Structure 1
Amino acid sequence: MNLSENDTILLKHILEHSFDEIFIADAAGMVLYTSQTTELVFGIPREQIVNHNLFDLEKQGLFSPSVIANVLRTKKKDTLIQETILNRKLIISGYPIFDSSGLLIGAMSVSRDITEFEYLKKENDQVAKALQLYQEENEKLRKQAASPFLHRNDKMAKVFDIASKVANINVTVLLEGESGTGKNHIAHMIHQMSSRKAEPFIEMNCGAIPESLFESELFGYEEGAFTGSKKGGKKGYFECARKGTLFLDEIGELPMNLQVKLLSVLQNHSFMRIGGTKEIEVNCRIICATNQQLETLIKERRFREDLYYRINVVKIDIPPLRERREEIIPLIYEITEQLNRKYGLDKYFTPTMAAWLSQQQWPGNVRELRNYIEKQIITTSGNEIDLESDEDTNQNSSIDANQEIPLDDYIETLEKEYIVRMYQKYPSSIKLAEKLGISQSTANRKIQKYVGTR
């Protein structure tokens, strides 16, 4: 093939300005041409390649393997990924060159540097993993934001696991537990973790509203519905909740006649105001709570069985505080912090006092504990609250000041409180061991024993 001078110049420019590295060899493997930037990619001077045999260069390990050598051997196209001595990663495709009669007269290869692509791919993989970890951590933080306490008790961990799972599922939830166990807190948490959190959270205590006002409070009324009704009527709790959450506390106290109407609302997803003729659609989520055994009330014909099954789609049993003593000390510190912010104070319970409080019975559960802490914060003169600060421990308190605790249990309680508090501040075994002056293995054992893996 004869090329004119202009054709030769044009071909040279095409080869030199190609984005890819180009090799051309004859049928014997003699290199006829390489791009000028070859040395930057392969780390081999151009003069050591041009007019040298690729089979020899392959034997020397400079190209291992050589794509062009493979093409010349097989007379077929070949593609492989090769890493150069400069740690550049290339994707190389080789092509046989035949003349018009089909005779092999040489081969060429085109190499594209994919080092940056590989780097970006690795970076993207790392970003994807980091994003996944971020999303997982964000989910943990979302749950912690709704529930600030560290739940080390298995029963409470199960409670919060179920609550988090049902938060975004539009089902009716029934919370059961003794008075003061935190049913209101769980209901709030479910609302805050749901997609309804920007909507209202409306609470109605069924045991605190006179029976004569129940219906109007729950469903509202139209103007002129009865003597004394407000001008323009009034919205009930269902309407006020809009697309949010309606929390019906002490559902066992709901009168039988209203149980029928509530059942109708749950079945039909609509209601009418008192004196109204227009159906109003129910868009809110219903959470019910009780400190009574509804099964017993059903047997006593004080609660409708059909309503029970309607509200009991998902039931969450909240254990009393005496069954989750591991949480008492974190609760003490959390409640103390909340009340300090409320009253603008800086009171604190000593570790000894907190450990002693964790051994008490608290029949009124979290509500009683909170009331006790609030009283001590308000009435104690100094900032430090210790056993000596409590003037009522020997009087009409539900706490037994003379309760005898085994020494080992008392020491373990103090150690546990201290380890938990320090681990929250230094959340790694290395840092914890350094701060406490103990070995890392000992710190790990303490963390496993008192903090756990949750």
Structure 2
Amino acid sequence: KNHIAYKIHQLSSRKAEPFIEVNCGAIPESLFESELFGYEDGAFTGSKKGGKKGYFEAAGNGTLFLDEIGELPLNLQVKLLSVLQNQTLMRIGGTKRIEVNCRIICATNQNLEKMIKERKFREDLYYRINVVKVEIPPLRERKEEIIPLIYEITEQLNRKYQLNTYFTPTMAAWLSQQNWPGNVRELRNYIEKKMITSSGNEIDLDMHEEDTKKESYTQLTKEIPLNDYIETLEKEYIVRMYQKYPSSIKLAEILGISQSTANRKILKYVEQR
């Protein structure tokens, strides 16, 4: 969710402005109002001298990403709605209204329509934030994205830990067939664990037989039709090689195939992604 929110920010005219991410479920209710809206000097015991900007002010003309919006208490939902409607806020202990000009992106893994019926989420706030709705299917419903994710995450972690580790096509194909109930976060954690505990640069399936016995990883590659398995491996390899050699001529030369065949595979596996 935060990755998509940040991409929206980066692709917009606000990209040079701040991107502020707030997890509404991680901030104690007693602190949330001061964190979100800020406070003036001496507003309460223990307040910072000179006061403090809240997240809305800190975002400026940028983007404020409110993750887990369904965790926001009802009394704070009212105040958030007021800010969104009036596009102004007032710090705790303040008397001056401050204009708000940031983009608001909200995210949740809860069913807000159900929460409205249960009177746990305000209907008016729901319609205020539900302007452009983007639904992110679970990773198990978009398995074609797993292999590219594996190589993107591996590249990031190689830079982070100064490694040169990689997953073999067989291991990547096996990973792409798992359900990943924890979605991208679970996939990333699994990859990170394997990379930092591996004794060599190559991570292959036969090195991690214990994983195939776990209940959360029951869909083994042997259950996949052979043609599907071969196509998964071919797609992963073509996509990876094309990223390295973005030319049908060079790709054909590297793979030892004709340029027309290379063009067909690029069209099938790369341009239709």
**In the alignment, does 2:82 pair up with 1:231?**
no
Q: Which residue of 2 aligns with 1:373?
A: 191
Match of 2:180 among 362, 366, 370: 362
Kindly indicate which of the two structures has a greater share of residues assigned to strand. Answer: 1
**In the alignment, does 2:226 pair up with 1:407?**
yes
Contact 1:419 1:446 in 2 (8 A): yes
CA–CA distance in structure 2, aligned partners of residues 224 and 397 of structure 1: 55
Kindly indicate which of the two structures has a greater share of residues assigned to helix. Answer: 2
Percent identity of the aligned residues? 83
CA–CA distance in structure 2, aligned partners of residues 442 and 305 of structure 1: 55
CA displacement, residues 163-185 of structure 1 (integer Å, 9 cap, x when unaligned): xxxxxxxxxxxxxxxxxxxx100
Any idea what SS the aligned residue of 2:262 has?
Answer: helix
Q: Which residue of 1 aligns with 2:250?
A: 431
Q: How far off is 1:221 after superposition?
A: 1.4
Q: Which residue of 1 aligns with 2:102?
A: 284
Q: How far off is 1:423 after superposition?
A: 2.3
Q: Which residue of 1 aligns with 2:147?
A: 329
Read off the aligned partner of 1:238 and give its amino acid letter. Answer: F
What is the number of equivalent residue pairs in this alignment? 272
What are structure 1's unaligned runs of at least 5 residues? 1-182
Contact 1:223 1:231 in 2 (8 A): yes
Read off the aligned partner of 1:227 and give its amino acid letter. Answer: T
CA–CA distance in structure 2, aligned partners of residues 265 and 348 of structure 1: 48
Q: Which residue of 2 aligns with 1:90?
A: none
CA displacement, residues 210-266 of structure 1 (integer Å, 9 cap, x when unaligned): 111111111111222222222222221111112211110001111111111111101
Read off the aligned partner of 2:90 and give its amino acid letter. Answer: M
Q: How far off is 1:396 after superposition?
A: 5.0
**In the alignment, does 2:21 pair up with 1:203?**
yes
**In the alignment, does 2:90 pair up with 1:275?**
no
TM-score normalised over the length of structure 2: 0.93
Q: How far off is 1:365 after superposition?
A: 1.0
Q: Which residue of 2 aligns with 1:249?
A: 67
Read off the aligned partner of 1:389 and give its amino acid letter. Answer: M
RMSD over equivalenced CA pairs, Å:
1.8
CA displacement, residues 330-349 of structure 1 (integer Å, 9 cap, x when unaligned): 11111001000001111111
Looking at CA atoms only, which structure, 1 or 2, has the larger radius of gyration? 1
Q: Which residue of 2 aligns with 1:8?
A: none
* Distance verdict in 2 for CA 1:189–1:408, change over 3 Å: same
Contact 2:174 2:220 in 1 (8 A): no
Q: Which residue of 1 aligns with 2:168?
A: 350
CA–CA distance in structure 2, aligned partners of residues 197 and 448 of structure 1: 32
Q: Which residue of 2 aligns with 1:384?
A: 202
CA–CA distance in structure 1, aligned partners of residues 177 and 263 of structure 2: 26
* Distance verdict in 2 for CA 1:386–1:401, change over 3 Å: farther
* Distance verdict in 2 for CA 1:210–1:395, change over 3 Å: farther
**In the alignment, does 2:137 pair up with 1:319?**
yes
Contact 1:380 1:389 in 2 (8 A): no
CA–CA distance in structure 2, aligned partners of residues 259 and 453 of structure 1: 42
Q: How far off is 1:276 after superposition?
A: 1.2
Q: How far off is 1:391 after superposition?
A: 6.0
Q: Which residue of 2 aligns with 1:220?
A: 38
Q: Which residue of 2 aligns with 1:442?
A: 261
Read off the aligned partner of 2:267 and give its amino acid letter. Answer: Q
Contact 1:393 1:401 in 2 (8 A): no
Q: How far off is 1:438 after superposition?
A: 2.5
Q: How far off is 1:437 after superposition?
A: 2.3
TM-score normalised over the length of structure 1: 0.57
* Distance verdict in 2 for CA 1:439–1:386, change over 3 Å: same
CA–CA distance in structure 2, aligned partners of residues 424 and 230 of structure 1: 50
Read off the aligned partner of 1:256 and give its amino acid letter. Answer: L
Q: Which moved more, 1:317-326 or 1:307-316?
A: 317-326
Read off the aligned partner of 1:387 and give its amino acid letter. Answer: L
* Distance verdict in 2 for CA 1:401–1:379, change over 3 Å: farther
What are structure 2's unaligned runs of at least 5 residues? none
Q: How far off is 1:395 after superposition?
A: 5.6
CA–CA distance in structure 2, aligned partners of residues 276 and 396 of structure 1: 56
Read off the aligned partner of 1:388 and give its amino acid letter. Answer: D
CA–CA distance in structure 1, aligned partners of residues 264 and 99 of structure 2: 56
Contact 1:297 1:303 in 2 (8 A): yes
CA–CA distance in structure 2, aligned partners of residues 208 and 440 of structure 1: 54
* Distance verdict in 2 for CA 1:427–1:229, change over 3 Å: closer
Q: How far off is 1:440 after superposition?
A: 3.3
Read off the aligned partner of 2:62 and give its amino acid letter. Answer: G
Contact 1:376 1:390 in 2 (8 A): no
Match of 1:240 among 58, 68, 93: 58
Any idea what SS the aligned residue of 1:393 has?
Answer: helix
Any idea what SS the aligned residue of 1:419 has?
Answer: helix
Read off the aligned partner of 2:120 and give its amino acid letter. Answer: R
